[in-house]
Structure formats: structure tokens, C-alpha cells
């Protein structure tokens, strides 16, 4: 909240170092490992953006595909007309506006409705885009021809992931972050100390939506040919939820712990058992929710708590680090 503590400086430095190391990857491989790393970084960006909102609010959003698809389409529609960096900004703006509208309409109601609404939204946008395309254009999809290589996409996604982390870190130290902590603890108290709970949630959802749309925009050149079923694929929404839950959403880096193993396993399954991918996803979802509801980071924290308790039972009531 104030100056950086030594711990925070260390985390920031470590994060920067890891990103710098990861950025070296395309120098060593531009085939399979780069390709799977693009997937990993893509889902790292998506899951962290998702957790940015869903972690503190506990609202499960299934609108990831909607924001992602809008980002992809912003590039698909504009690539011949506008410079690419501008398209990324436009994608962010569209994602934020969309999230703002959805948030204003649904965040005042309870969580279950929000889940259904966001899922419906992704489908609705997909149908609208399909309808518009068949109505006003002859082709079903859009071509995206750029000079961009897999390495460029990888670097941009890596930079985006870094930006999401930095944003989460800054939010956590801001009034908004403190408001979200209070809301997560007790929404009634939050309102009565003067927090506009709906507004805080909407702002957070907008930030999250903007980042997801940028991720879609960055990935667009990778598809070369964009059509609604791939850009607005509901699988994206589900995978993001599963991976984030597997990692745990309490910590900033929690989703990462889920993303890396899951992407690798998914890649293995979809290449070896292409017809059974959905079954595996479904089973994984059940297993995670039942067996590790707080994710891997939750497990680690419990283990750590048990360890500290055993080694120093007297120190439980000690001052916790500020």
C-alpha cells in the first residue's frame, strides 16, 4: 500500500527475471516447444486476467471466449486498414466496454445468474457475428495475413502476461484492491464502510475483459483464417476456469501453477486421443472441484501451515508480517 517492502521488491525482481528468461526460448527452438509455449503463455495471460476478477469476487465468468473472440475479430476486421498496435488498443477498449455493459447488467444479481449470463453472452456474440457475416459478406471467416511469426506472438503474449501481473500487483496495493479484499470478506460490511461494491466489481471486470480481448487480438495472426467457431470457442472459457481453479486463485501466481501442467497434458491428449478430449476435460473439472477446491496453491499453503504449526506451536499468535 505504501513503499515497496523488501519482499515485494524481491517478487517483482524475480518476476522480471523469469519473464526475461522465458523470452529467450525462441532463440533455441521454433518448432514444437515454441508452439506449446505459445499455448502456455496464452493461457497464462487468459487465466491471470480471469483470476484478476474472479479470484477476489468469486464470480465465475464464462465470458472469456466472448472477450477473446472480440479481440480476435478486431484484428481480423481492421488488419488491412489500421496499424496493428492501434488494433490492440481498440480490442482492449471493446473488451472493456463489453465487460462494463455486462457487469452493469448482471453484477448486482447473484453469482449463479452471472455464470449463466456470461455463458449465454459468449454464444450470443458468436451467433451475432455469424449472422452479420452471412448477411453482409459472402465469406464465413476473415483472413489475417501478417508478417508476424510464432516468435513475435510468443513475445507479445509474454509481455501481456507481464502486464497482467504488474496490473494485479498494482491493484492489490490500491484502494480498489483493498475494497475487493473487504468485499471478499463481507459484502455487507463493505457497503457500510462506504464501498460502492457494484462499481468496484465492474471496474475490475472491465480491466479483466480488456486484457482477455488483447490476448485474442495478439493471437489472431496465428489463426490466419478466423471464423466464429474458433474465435468464440466455448472450450476457451471452460479451460480457463479449469486451469485457474487447478492452480488456485488466491495468489497472483496461482493460475500459472495450473496452466503449465494442464496445457502440456491437454496437448498430449488432443494429439493422442483427439476424440476423447471433452471426456478428459470433464473428468478433470470434476476431479479438481472435488479433490482440490482451493487449487494447488491452496494445498501448498495448507501443507506449509501444518508444517509451521508442528515446528513452532507457540508462534501461532505472533505478529503476522505486514
Residue 127 or 181: the one with the smaller Cβ distance to other proteins is 181
Cell of 69: 473472440
Alpha helix positions (H), the chain: 6-23, 32-57, 64-78, 84-106, 111-136, 150-172, 175-185, 187-192, 197-223, 228-231, 234-247, 254-272, 277-291, 295-311
Contact (CB, 8 A) for 151 and 34: yes
Verify binding: residue 29, other proteins, rule CB under 8 A: no
Bin 295: left if φ > 0, else alpha if -120 < ψ < 50, else beta: left
Q: Is 176 in the site for other proteins (CB under 8 A)?
A: no
Dist CA 66 CA 72 (whole Å): 10
- Cβ 248 vs Cβ 258: under 8 Å: yes
Is residue 297 part of the contact set for other proteins (CB under 8 A)? no
d(C-alpha 189, C-alpha 321), whole Å: 25
User: In the complex, what is the shortest distance from the CB of residue 59 to other proteins, in angstroms, rounded to a whole number?
Assistant: 18
With CB under 8 A, what is the number of residues at the site for other proteins? 24
Q: Rank residues 9 and 132 by Cβ distance to other proteins and give the closer one.
A: 9
Which residue, 137 or 181, has its beta carbon nearer to other proteins?
A: 181
Asked if residue 77 lies in contact with residue 24, where contact means CB atoms within 8 angstroms, the answer is no
- Binding mask 250-289 toward other proteins (x if CB under 8 A, else -) reads ----------------------------------------
Distance CA 244, CA 288 (A): 10
Query: Quick check: 73 and 193 in contact, CB under 8 A?
Result: no
Q: In whole angstroms, what is the distance from residue 295 CA to residue 251 CA?
A: 10
- Does 320 bind other proteins (CB under 8 A)? Our answer is yes
Closer residue to other proteins, CB minimum distance, 16 or 104: 104
Q: Write down the least CB distance from residue 108 to other proteins, Å.
A: 11
Of 179-218, which residues contact other proteins (CB under 8 A)? 179, 181-182, 184-186, 188-197
Determine the interface stretch with other proteins among 177-185, 230-238, 268-276, 289-297 (rule: CB under 8 A). 177-185
Q: 29-32: long-range contacts at Cβ-Cβ below 8 A with a sequence spacing of 24 or more? A: 30/149, 30/150, 30/151
58 conformational bin, left if phi > 0, alpha if psi -120 to 50, beta if neither: left
192 or 310, CB closer to other proteins? 192
Number of Cβ within 10 Å of residue 234's Cβ equals 16
Q: Which of 21, 27, 135, 319 binds other proteins (CB under 8 A)?
A: 319
CB of 290 to other proteins, least distance (A): 24
Nearer to other proteins, 152 or 191 (CB): 191
> Nearer to other proteins by C-beta: 161 or 297?
297
Q: Rounded to whole angstroms, how far apart are CA atoms 177 and 200?
A: 9
**Residues 118-157: x where in contact with other proteins by CB under 8 A, - otherwise, as a string:** ----------------------------------------
The residue range among 153-161, 172-180, 233-241, 294-302 that interacts with other proteins, by the rule CB under 8 A, is 172-180
Complex with other proteins: residue 112 or 193, whichever CB lies closer: 193
Could you tell me the smallest distance in angstroms from the CB atom of residue 298 to other proteins? Answer: 14
Tell me how far, at minimum, the Cβ of 201 lies from other proteins, in Å: 13
Cβ-count burial 114-145 (b if 16+ within 10 Å, e if not)? bbebbbebbeebbeebbeebeeeeeeebbebe
**1 binds other proteins, rule: CB under 8 A:** yes
Using CB under 8 A, list all residues that contact other proteins.
1-2, 175, 178-179, 181-182, 184-186, 188-197, 317, 319-320, 322
Amino acid at each position: 500500500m505504501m513503499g515497496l517492502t523488501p519482499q515485494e521488491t524481491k517478487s517483482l525482481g524475480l518476476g522480471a527475471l523469469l519473464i526475461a528468461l522465458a523470452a529467450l526460448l525462441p532463440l533455441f527452438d521454433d518448432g514444437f516447444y515454441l508452439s506449446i509455449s505459445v499455448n502456455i503463455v496464452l493461457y497464462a495471460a487468459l487465466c491471470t486476467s480471469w483470476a484478476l476478477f474472479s479470484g477476489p469476487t468469486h464470480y465465475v465468468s464464462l465470458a472469456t471466449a466472448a472477450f477473446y473472440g472480440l479481440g480476435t475479430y478486431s484484428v481480423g476486421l481492421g488488419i488491412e486498414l489500421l496499424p496493428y498496435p492501434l488494433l490492440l488498443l481498440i480490442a482492449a477498449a471493446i473488451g472493456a466496454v463489453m465487460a462494463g455493459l455486462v457487469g452493469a447488467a448482471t453484477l448486482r444479481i447473484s453469482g449463479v445468474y452471472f455464470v449463466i449470463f456470461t455463458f449465454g453472452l459468449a454464444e450470443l456474440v458468436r451467433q451475432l457475428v455469424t449472422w452479420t457475416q452471412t448477411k453482409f459478406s459472402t465469406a464465413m471467416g476473415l483472413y489475417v495475413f501478417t508478417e508476424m511469426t510464432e516468435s513475435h506472438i510468443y513475445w507479445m503474449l509474454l509481455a501481456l502476461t507481464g502486464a497482467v501481473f504488474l496490473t494485479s500487483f498494482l491493484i492489490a496495493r490500491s484502494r480498489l484492491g483493498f475494497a475487493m479484499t473487504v468485499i471478499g470478506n463481507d459484502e455487507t460490511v463493505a457497503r457500510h464502510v462506504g464501498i460502492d461494491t457494484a462499481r468496484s466489481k465492474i471496474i475490475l471486470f472491465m480491466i479483466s475483459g480488456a486484457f482477455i480481448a488483447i490476448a485474442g487480438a495478439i493471437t489472431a495472426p496465428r489463426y490466419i483464417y478466423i471464423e466464429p467457431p474458433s474465435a468464440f470457442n466455448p472450450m476457451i472459457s471452460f479451460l480457463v476456469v479449469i486451469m485457474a481453479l487447478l492452480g488456485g486463485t488466491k495468489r497472483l501466481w496461482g493460475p500459472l501453477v495450473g496452466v503449465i501442467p494442464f496445457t502440456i497434458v491437454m496437448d498430449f491428449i488432443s494429439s493422442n486421443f483427439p476424440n476423447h478430449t471433452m471426456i478428459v476435460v470433464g473428468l478433470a473439472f470434476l476431479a479438481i472441484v472435488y479433490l482440490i477446491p482451493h487449487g494447488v496453491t491452496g494445498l501448498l499453503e495448507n501443507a506449509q501451515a501444518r508444517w509451521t504449526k508442528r515446528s513452532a506451536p507457540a508462534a501461532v499468535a505472533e505478529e503476522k508480517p505486514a
